[in-house]
Amino acid sequence: MATRPEQLAPPEVFYNDTEARKYTTSSRMVEIQANLTERALELLNLPEDGEPKLLLDLGCGSGLSGESLTECGHHWLGMDISEAMLDVACEREVEGDVMLSDIGQGLPLRTGVFDGAISISAIQWLCNADKTANDPRQRLKAFFQTLYRSLARGARAVLQFYPDGPKQVEMISSAAMRVGFSGGLVVDFPHSTRAKKYFLVLMAGPPSVNSTLPKAKGVDGGSESNEDDVSEDDEGATVEFADRQRHAKRRRKDGKRGKGRSWILNKKRQQREKGVEVPADTKYTGRKRKARF
Amino acid sequence: MRLLTHNMLACNIKGVTKGYPLKIEATKTEEKETDFNAGFLRHIYPKLDWKALREAAASLGLEELPEQVEPSQLEDEDFLRRFHHVLLEIHLEEGALVCPETGRRFPVSKGIPNMLLNEDEV
Ligand SMILES: C[S@@+](CC[C@H](N)C(=O)[O-])C[C@H]1O[C@@H](n2cnc3c(N)ncnc32)[C@H](O)[C@@H]1O
């Protein structure tokens, strides 16, 4: 089995110039990160009022995940510990603001301001103790505590990560729970070794009407995946932290990504008819980003 | 980094209680046009620390924002455009953010603030 990058070097060393460039020039990588981000956005379950939101992208790297946020019209603030990755993000002129920050030191943010947070393929790095001063438990605690605080009440954080085993899943999710988050783990494609993806879906603040658990695709009236043979029950979508392994939600979906231009145009028209202000339709509307940079 | 981001940032050095707002030392700013969206401005307005935004704008020598915002102003396109410009179109490219309590400087280079803490600050 290949060695995990987390075991090779600390993130700020591993993600050097070469790695940063490799990352954004691989069209496969671009596609994977875009897919993961779209899924994370879906799980974030933002209000469908057509208004842009203010989001966090934790471990934003070269901005691949952030670009998907921009495509949906949102403003975002990205944090990453690797200068090389952020340099690439700037070269690519991402729309979000990015800053150099170690999320294991806690987020330098005000209280209650963000509408949501995503993190794509980053937080497993917090489980490594690269320096003697790094205590993974303490770093996870600082991270979750400050993340919780920075979110508006009722807002969610969706954190996709690559655990190296069940112990790491446990360590990360219990750290999240301990600071007051509710929520659980959504595992996509649980039976495929390659496609299996872990999303920690967290909610800040007391459970409310809005804290119904992640819905599967297509339930919001979209036509996209009604034809999918997804066996969905909303309740199963989020797994209680305590016995998540046993009841892990099973999802299947086809390979399609994105909702497509016609879906977006239609949604925008509906919003306009409701009197909601939406950006004008242009040739860029719903355009797929080219997988090259 | 835009003033929107500046408005959300606070110093998180261990023990610091008054780490907001960070003072801006600018040696270079840039203007970048971005799409105007009134909905976003109305949405974000209640979450902003207006005083901090006003002071940040003043420290960059930008057009003055009113001390108080009346609800009717959030319907006024003229005002919203000015608000939009200050919040989203001015980028701090080079300079520093300074913690008001400790004086610790967080350098900003190529538009990227370096908020990394030293081990003894965690
Ligand atoms: C696999 S990359 C993903 C980047 C980006 N989210 C994307 O989708 O393209 C993981 C990123 O997490 C960042 N990272 C790892 N540990 C971190 C930490 N403690 N604080 C901030 N970022 C970190 C790395 O520098 C790297 O850029």
Closest by alpha carbon to A63, among A32, A97, A40?
A97
Same domain for A139 and A9, yes or no, is yes
Predicted TM-score of the model (pTM): 0.82
Residue A198, φ and ψ in degrees, nearest 5: -100, 130
Domain tally, chain A = 2
- The structure tokens listed for A85 are 């990755």
Which residues, including other chains, have CB under 8 Å from residue B30's CB and lie 6 or more apart?
B90, B91, B93, B111
A249 within domain boundaries: no
B contact test, residue of A77, A88, A110 with most B CBs within 10 A: A110
A contact test, residue of B16, B18, B37, B51 with most A CBs within 10 A: B37
> Which residues is A186 bridged to in the sheet?
A199
How far apart CA B21 and CA B97 sit, in angstroms, is 9
What pLDDT, in 10s, does the model give residues A192-243? 888 899 999 999 986 655 555 565 333 333 333 333 333 333 333 445 553 3
Is B122's pLDDT higher than 80?
Answer: yes
User: Which residue's alpha carbon is nearest to atom 10 within ligand 1?
Assistant: A122
Tell me the best of A28, A60, A76 to mutate to test the pocket of ligand 1, counting ligand atoms within 8 Å of each CB and taking the most: A60
How far apart CA A276 and CA A143 sit, in angstroms, is 36
The distance of Cα A118 from the centroid of its chain, to the nearest Å, equals 3
Burial readout B54-75 (b: 16 or more C-beta within 10 A, e: otherwise): bebbeebebeebeeeeeeeeee
The answer, yes or no, to whether any atom of ligand 1 lies below 6 A from the CB of A80, is yes
* Bridge-based pairing state of the strands A197-203 and A182-188: antiparallel
Tell me the best of A23, A62, A76, A82 to mutate to test the pocket of ligand 1, counting ligand atoms within 8 Å of each CB and taking the most: A82
- Cis before A52? omega within 30: no
Same domain for A261 and A293, yes or no, is yes
Residue A152, φ and ψ in degrees, nearest 5: -65, 150
Domain positions in chain B: 3-114
**pLDDT of the residue at A292:** 53
Same domain for A213 and A261, yes or no, is no
Classify B118 as helix, strand or coil.
coil
Inter-chain touch A90–B111, beta carbons under 8 Å:
yes
A248 within domain boundaries: no
Angle between helices A27-44 and A17-25 (to 10 degrees): 80
Classify B92 as helix, strand or coil.
strand
Per the listing, tokens 């469908």 go with A48
Same domain for A78 and A193, yes or no, is yes
Tell me the CATH number at A52: 3.40.50.150
Contacts across the A-B interface (CB distance below 8 Å): 91
How far apart CA B33 and CA A50 sit, in angstroms, is 22
Inter-chain touch B43–A52, beta carbons under 8 Å:
yes
Which residues, including other chains, have CB under 8 Å from residue A175's CB and lie 6 or more apart?
A137, A140, A141, A143, A144
Inter-chain touch A101–B122, beta carbons under 8 Å:
no
The answer, yes or no, to whether any atom of ligand 1 lies below 6 A from the CB of A103, is yes
How far apart CA A204 and CA A193 sit, in angstroms, is 31
What pLDDT, in 10s, does the model give residues B37-86? 999 999 999 999 999 999 999 999 998 999 999 999 999 999 999 999 99
Per-residue pLDDT of chain A (293 residues; tens, 9 = 90+): 568 899 889 999 999 999 898 888 889 999 999 999 999 999 999 998 989 999 999 999 999 999 999 999 999 999 999 999 999 999 999 999 999 999 999 999 999 999 999 999 999 999 988 776 689 999 999 999 999 999 999 999 999 999 999 999 999 999 999 999 999 999 999 998 888 999 999 999 866 555 555 653 333 333 333 333 333 333 334 455 533 333 334 444 444 555 677 778 878 888 888 787 888 888 778 776 665 54
Same domain for A103 and A224, yes or no, is yes
A164 within domain boundaries: yes
Task: Spell out which residues of chain B touch residue A76, defining contact as CB-CB under 8 Å.
Answer: none
Q: Tell me which residue range forms the domain holding A56.
A: 5-242
The answer, yes or no, to whether any atom of ligand 1 lies below 6 A from the CB of A60, is yes
A11 in contact with B, Cβ within 8 Å: no
Q: Which fold has domain B3-114?
A: N-terminal domain of TfIIb (2.20.25)
Contact A143, A123 (CB under 8 A): yes
Same domain for A29 and A65, yes or no, is yes
The answer, yes or no, to whether any atom of ligand 1 lies below 6 A from the CB of A124, is no
Same domain for A69 and A114, yes or no, is yes
